Amino acid sequence: MMKNYNIKILFGSNVREFRHNKGISQEKLAELSGLHRTYISDVERGSRSISLDNIKKIANALEIEVFKLFIFNEEDHYD
Amino acid sequence: MMKNYNIKILFGSNVREFRHNKGISQEKLAELSGLHRTYISDVERGSRSISLDNIKKIANALEIEVFKLFIFNEEDHYD
DNA sequence: CTGTGACTTTTAGTCCGTG
DNA sequence: ACACGGACTAAAAGTCACA
């Protein structure tokens, strides 16, 4: 079972991937989610332990279900 | 698409369900996760916007993957 | 367009209790 | 064994200037 990985890195990597899929900038995602541009940057790089309410704002802005931001991609290692 | 639900209620309900499945008390979950007993109580009732690092601690304590705590149960309504 | 350090305000999270 | 409150401390939220 996956237990020792950095969840902030996993989450941030997934946000970045879905954002790229949507073809938008961090600034656009910030605008859509109502969060600050630099905050999005921090989250994507895994340097913020973001909480539930903001996790949901980002998922809504990306138009995806929240759980998808926690799916582990076997090709990557999150540490 | 599910967009207007309370993620704190969804998360808390799922924590409670998995905890019951495991047959342990809030106090035991608090001990296993390294969080405070009153905080677990608050989280399960959806009154706290818990952050990533602690979300992971709870998933680890429940011995489940993090994403499972965000799965929406169609039978319930989280508001 | 994004990364980062520094910063203030707000909330997450703890610890004491009660019924 | 759990809900809930008050008071507190640690950490997240939120913003900015600059690279």
CATH number at residue A12: 1.10.260.40
- Please indicate, yes or no, if residue B31 is contained in any of the structural domains: yes
Examine residue B50 and state whether it is found in any structural domain, yes or no. yes
Say if residues A20 and A31 touch (Cβ distance below 8 Å).
no
In a domain, residue A48? The reply is yes
Could you tell me the pLDDT band of residue A25, with boundaries at 50, 70 and 90? very high
Cβ atoms B49, B11 nearer than 8 A: no
pLDDT in tens, B22-67: 999 999 999 999 999 999 999 999 999 999 999 999 999 999 999 9
Q: What is the pLDDT of residue A3?
A: 74
Flag whether A79 is in a domain.
no
- Within 10 angstroms of residue A53's Cβ, the number of other Cβ atoms is 12
Asked if residue A32 is part of any domain, the answer here is: yes
**A60-64, A71-75, B31-35, B50-54: segment of lowest average pLDDT:** A71-75
A54 touches strand C (CB under 7 A): no
More confident residue, A76 or B60: B60
Residue B78: its pLDDT value, please?
A: 73
In-domain check, residue B77: no
Please name the residue whose C-alpha is nearest to the C1' of nucleotide D11: A49
pLDDT at B75: 56
Chain B residue closest in CA terms to A59: B3
* Domain assignment of residue B19, given as a range: 7-70
Q: pLDDT band at residue B2, thresholds of 50, 70 and 90? A: low
**Count of domains forming chain A:** 1
The answer as to whether B75 is a domain residue is no
Q: Is the Cβ pair B72, A65 closer than 8 Å?
A: yes
